[in-house]
Structure 1
Amino acid sequence: MALVALLVAEAMNLLDATIVQVAGPVIHDDLGGAVAAIPWFSAAYTLAFALGLLVAARLGDIAGRRRVFRIGVAAFAVTSLACALAPGTGVLIGMRAAQGLAAALIIPQTLGLIRAMFDGDELSKALGAIGPVMGLSAVLGPVLGGVLTHADVLGSSWRAVFLVNLPLAAVVLALVPRLREDRAPVRPRLDLLGTALAMAGTALLVVPLAAGTGVPGAGAWAAAGLGALVLAGFVAHQRRAAAAGRTPLVEPSLLRGRAFPSALATSTLFFAVMNGVMITVVLQLELGLGRGPLTAGLTLLPWSAGLAVGSGAAGSRLVPRYGGARVLVAGLVVLAAGLAAAALAHRAVPAGDYPLGLPFALALAGLGVGLFTAPFFTLALRPVSDQEAGSAAGLLNAVQQLGGTLGVAVVGGVYLTAADALPALGTAAALLAATAPAAWAMLARPRTRN
């Protein structure tokens, strides 16, 4: 039952990251406000989640993982209720950010608690259960969002997508006493200055680029440049902290060489494509074609199914036979073919008609996503030492969420500016093209000198 609590908590986060996308246009119709706010119903959550991940794992080391996990689940329930009761767009976006911070407290603790409670074969089985739960959550998220919003249970409409978290959180909190408390053997100190620099730099880099619609203006690029300088200061601070014998927030050695920094860039770009395509499909169907959230959710089902099939096939057969690098590259190629097929599906029908070929194109694109993601994290962590593994995993998770934020806001913003799916899909294709050289730099092994 302890494992059930951890898996349900993982599922809550994954569901919440996708379930709201489908409900976004309905939320806007009800609450009003600028149409540009629609992508931020999702992006506020993923951005806050990414920023919180930078420090949440360290809080578990300091205060105890079970304690931080319990606080995170309780906060997630409270903020979910606040989202459901939000009277306006600004309040909802603010509560979504708070909900993302709560999720950040939960997720880094789950792996540590599993490792503390299980050994040997039981540990392998427990870790192996995470994959199917993630896959099922990815499949159910968009469909559940469409079903709940369309059903309008007791007049709840879109608010039901947040209320569904309450019974899940209640189950997890009831099972928390079965979890074993666990913390780092030597309590580290929290790097407050490093945390502030990382959060400020990331926010300055991401938010201005994602806040508007279409091509970012000069002010956004200036803020992003300032954010890059702040992050450079963060790296220098981490190096000084490590040299002085203090515990840095991020292991500075991770940023030497090109392999792991290239993995961070690959993750950011790829997940921007993934989330950008999903929000484009939802906006085009609901705003452009006037279809409801149920149609949008069902249209995304082949995408999720393709992702699950691709991931399962890659992990069980393709990677062992052909190697992770080849499968990852194949995933990029298949995803590119899926994006091209989606563009053709839109061009093949008169304006205002449902693109009948779109579900098949999304199934192909989802298959590419699954083929890529299955070997990616293993390959990204290949050059990382045991001492660096925890910090590296946290960074990869954080930039994944940042990439998702950029994809939803930037690609979604392009759609809202053009009111056409083709420019948005073209933007996603350009981001995918930029992913290729980053992936090549990640996969290329350093030359050895004679």
Structure 2
Amino acid sequence: MTESLIRTSPTGTPPAAPPGAAGLGALGLCTVLIGSALPQLDFFIVNVALSSVGRDLDASPALLELVVAGYSVAYAVLLVLGGRLGDTYGRRRLFLTGLAAFGLTSLACGLAPDAWTLIAARVGQGAASALMVPQVLAIIQATTTGQRRARAIGMYAAVAGLAMVAGQILGGLLTAADLAGSGWRSVFLLNIPVVLAGLVLVWRVLPESRAERPAPVDLPGTALLAAALTTLLVPLTEGRAAGWPAWSWVLLALFPVAALAFVAVERRAERSGSTVPLVPPSLLRTAGMRRAMPPMMLCIGGFGGFMFVVALTFQEGLRFGPVRAGTALVPYALAFFAASLAGPRLAARFGPRLVTTGGLVQAVGVVALVAAVLRGWPDLGFLDLAPGLAVAGFGQGLQLPLLMRLVLADIPPEQAGVGGGAMATAQQSAIALGVALLGALFLALADSPGAMREALAITLTVQLAAVAVTTALSLRLGGGRTG
């Protein structure tokens, strides 16, 4: 696979928007990017506020895990269905509906009187996010072409990555600020003015688009995909806090059964032509999906796990307060954003080899972090951490946006919603896997305050191995230059 995955369709010509699709202006792009940032921001902002939630609502660790799991599972399970509904009923309409529902459920979270009400509202937030997020990539795919599309997807990836880092920064700042005595509730209530502004912008500037030949919902495929993701994500997100009870292992054992059944049903539906599959197997066989999806999942899964472990280390190991823990991540966020902005121009020059370069740069940053931890623990300060964080963030910023573009490169505009939903589902599942696996390793090793230094060094070394595998897989993406 050469530069065709950067700028062209499988036929060698720039991918075209569907007939009659209105163009996406700068303000429209900003609007959908705000919508894409809110769910990722909300996923990570809550992690910082969980201890405050537990004290205020008298919630056990298992209930606090459900606050996270309820959101992430509902979000991941419904993403592909959200993309299909957007293709059918209109992407602008579904984006508007999802954004409004996200605002209402954020209000419910902010006003929740007890833990179970908060969990129910978080499930609703996840479902609302699943309606909204697939439309972002679908709108970009359907209303832009060529370099404008490359820049838009680059910005989407930059905003997604920044939201993950900014969530922890903002969560710390808001929790410490205790605005008007709202405490942790402000992390949810902050969404309300953003959503209201977004609704006005959607109404005024966002063009409508939909598939030319919309397909009905694939009910068997939807049910089986939901079962597969639920049996995977629920035990991974809830099992550790619950002490890995028998039900968690039963669900994990059922995951491959549900996944294989889903694949079989989708293949049969595509072969028979009687039903359009929820995720057409032919879509997953495109060069971008087949070659770029595995390294993208490793990249973002490692990113999610890294953020989780670093947050735990700052708060529990180094005893940073919420504000200090947040500001310590600023070098990572700034470097990631700078690399994401430079990415489209660099990709046009160097092609997919930029993914390999980004992996090497990220590896240097992780090694620098390990060295700083081993050398300076427990007296690590901002200046000790900043170089490694900045270099790692820059490398990640070179990799992630380009990998997302490569995944979507061969998706036809009429399947933009399904393609965006499939990629978002892969992202969310990878984040959950990364947090569960790296988090479990770190917590197993850090069984005492004195062991946290070695636990962090070992976990970062495992993260380094994941970066190495991502970089090795990226070699399959080919070389070549564009433009």
Q: When the two structures are superposed, what TM-score results if normalisation uses the length of structure 2?
A: 0.79
Aligned residue for 1:101?
127
Shift of 1:361: 1.9
Number of aligned residues: 444
Distance of 2:148 and 2:354 partners within structure 1: 29
Candidates 241, 247, 252, aligned match of 1:224: 252
1:412 matched to 2:439: yes
Match of 1:205 in 2: 232
Instruction: Verify the 8 A CA contact 1:139 1:305 in the aligned structure 2.
Output: no
What is the match of residue 444 of structure 1? Answer: 476
| Deviation at residue 148 of structure 1 after TM alignment | 1.5
Task: Please state how far the C-alpha of 1:216 moved relative to its aligned partner.
Answer: 6.5
**Residues 127 and 91 (structure 1), Cα distance of their counterparts in 2 relative to 1, 3 Å cut:** same
Q: Paired residue for 1:239, among 267, 282, 296?
A: 267
Quote the Cα distance in structure 2 between the aligned partners of 1:401 and 1:17: 10
Cα separation, partners in 2 of 1:132 and 1:410, compared to 1, 3 Å = closer
- From the superposition, tell whether residues 289 and 76 of structure 1 become closer, same or farther in structure 2 (CA, over 3 Å): same
Query: Equivalent residue of 2:329, what SS?
Result: helix
Name the counterpart of 1:84: 110
Cα RMSD (Å): 3.5
What does 1:39-188 align with in structure 2 at a 5 Å threshold? 41-113=67-139, 130=156, 134=160, 137=163, 140-178=166-204, 179-188=206-215
1:305 corresponds to 2:334: yes
> What is the alpha-carbon distance in structure 1 between the residues aligned to residue 285 and residue 440 of structure 2?
35
Change beyond 3 A, Cα 1:372–1:237: same
Structure 2 residue aligned with 1:272, among 297, 301, 307?
301
Deviations 1:226-267 (A, max 9, x none): 211211111111111112212111121244599734533333
Of structures 1 and 2, the one scoring higher in RCO (CA 8 A, sep 6+) is 2
Aligned match of 1:250: 279
Q: Secondary structure at the match of 2:376?
A: coil
Q: Match of 1:426?
A: 458
C-alpha distance in 1, partners of 2:200/2:443? 43
- Distance, in Å, in 2 between the alignment partners of 1:8 and 1:298 is 22
Distance in 2 between residues matched to 1:113 and 1:106, nearest whole Å = 11
Cα distance in 2 between the residues matched to 1:346 and 1:168: 38
Structure 2, unmatched stretches of 5+, are 1-26, 479-483
CA contact (8 A) 2:377 2:453 kept: no
How far residue 166 of structure 1 moved from its aligned partner, in angstroms, is 0.3
| Cα contact 1:213–1:416 (8 A) shared by 2 | no
User: Is 1:396 paired with 2:428?
Assistant: no
Aligned residue identity for 1:103: S
Q: CA separation in 2, counterparts of 1:140 and 1:3?
A: 20
**Which residue is equivalent to 1:338?**
365
User: Which residue in 2 is equivalent to 1:295?
Assistant: 324
Change (3 A) 1:265 1:224: farther
Specify which of 334, 338, 356 is matched with residue 329 of structure 1.
Answer: 356
- Name the TM-score, length of structure 1 as normaliser: 0.85
Q: Give, as a single letter, the amino acid of the residue that structure 2 aligns with 1:369.
A: Q
Q: What fraction of aligned residue pairs are identical, expressed as a percent?
A: 38
Kept after mapping to 2: 8 A contact 1:22/1:145: yes
CA contact (8 A) 2:53 2:59 kept: no
Return the alpha-carbon distance in structure 1 between the equivalents of residues 366 and 455 of structure 2.
12
- Per the TM alignment, residue 151 of structure 1 is displaced from its structure 2 partner at its CA by 1.0
- Structure 1 residue 389: deviation in Å? 6.0
